[in-house]
Amino acid sequence: MLEAKWKLDPIKGRGFNQVNAQQRLFDDHFNEYNFRQELDFLSKQILEKLSSSSAGLNNNDIYLLSLNNEFKASHANSVLKELIKNKKIKSFNPLNMSDFTGTGFGISYKDFKENNVKVIFKK
């Protein structure tokens, strides 16, 4: 369902809106700004949740958080990459708590369903 909503409304993921059906001259600029605000909201949610958790959050926690806030897993991945790049959070391998060096964070339904913990995120 989230995929369909984001396909119809790629800015806020709220589904089809008649107002959004007409394209205006500067819509691309405002759409990019609005989408950035949405990602900033998700980023803020992740940082708040990490601040309240001394153990950190794993990839399944982030997946669930993104779904509860009506975001796709790809949005969570891009937000996490940005937070790590800006050194606001760190990612760790759950087996030995060394720095995570993998390519994917495991933020997916499959990993969630199988309770496959690939990464732990801490502030």
Residue 118's domain spans which residues? 2-6+26-122
| pLDDT over threshold 70, residue 24 | no
Q: What's the average model confidence in pLDDT over 34-63?
A: 93
Q: Note the pLDDT of residue 22.
A: 55
As a whole number of angstroms, the distance between CA 72 and CA 77 comes to: 9
In the chain, the number of structural domains is: 1
Residue 81 lies in a domain: yes
Q: Provide the pLDDT confidence category of residue 37 given band limits of 50, 70 and 90.
A: confident
Return the HEC string of 71-106. Answer: CCHHHHHHHHHHHHHCCCCEEECCCCCCECCCCCCC
Please give the residue that has the higher pLDDT: either 13 or 85: 85
**pTM of the predicted model, to two decimals?**
0.74
Residue 11 lies in a domain: no
63-109 pLDDT, tens digit per residue, is 999 999 999 999 999 999 999 999 999 999 999 999 998 888 999 99
